[in-house]
């Protein structure tokens, strides 16, 4: 919230500075262009947020869930970390040499 307030103050001070060089019409056109740019950015952010929301709440394909369940039922070695897996593979390679 504090950053928004600082941003507003900065924008106002910039417009006050330029008001010495620009007519009211030019300042209003500049403000309108800046607001338009901000609205474009907000629209882009909203679109991205909607895409993320859709991905998060999408139903998972039941066939995919069944496959995952089959994988989890398969026998094999289970590792707690990548380091454990690497250790196992190194020891396996040493015994095969």
Q: What is the pTM for the complete model shown?
A: 0.44
CB 15 within 8 A of CB 27: yes
Q: What is the pLDDT of residues 26-85, one digit of tens each?
A: 878 888 888 888 899 999 999 999 999 998 888 888 888 888 888 777 777 778 888 988
Give the dihedral sign, CA 11/31/27/24. Answer: negative
Give me the number of domains the chain comprises: 1
Instruction: Kindly tell me the number of DSSP H helices and DSSP E strands found in the chain.
Output: 4, 0
Q: Which domain holds residue 21?
A: 2-96
Residues 6+ apart with CB under 8 A from 85: 79
Under the banding of pLDDT at 50, 70 and 90, the label for residue 95 is low
């Amino acid at each position: 919230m504090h950053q928004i307030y600082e941003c507003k103050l900065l924008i106002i001070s910039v417009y006050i500075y330029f008001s010495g060089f620009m007519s009211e019409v030019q300042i209003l056109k500049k403000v309108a262009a800046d607001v338009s740019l901000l609205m474009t950015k907000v629209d882009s952010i909203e679109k991205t947020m909607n895409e993320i929301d859709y991905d998060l709440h999408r139903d998972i394909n039941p066939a995919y869930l069944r496959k995952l369940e089959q994988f989890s039922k398969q026998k094999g070695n289970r590792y707690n970390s990548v380091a454990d897996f690497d250790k196992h593979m190194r020891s396996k390679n040493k015994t095969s040499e």
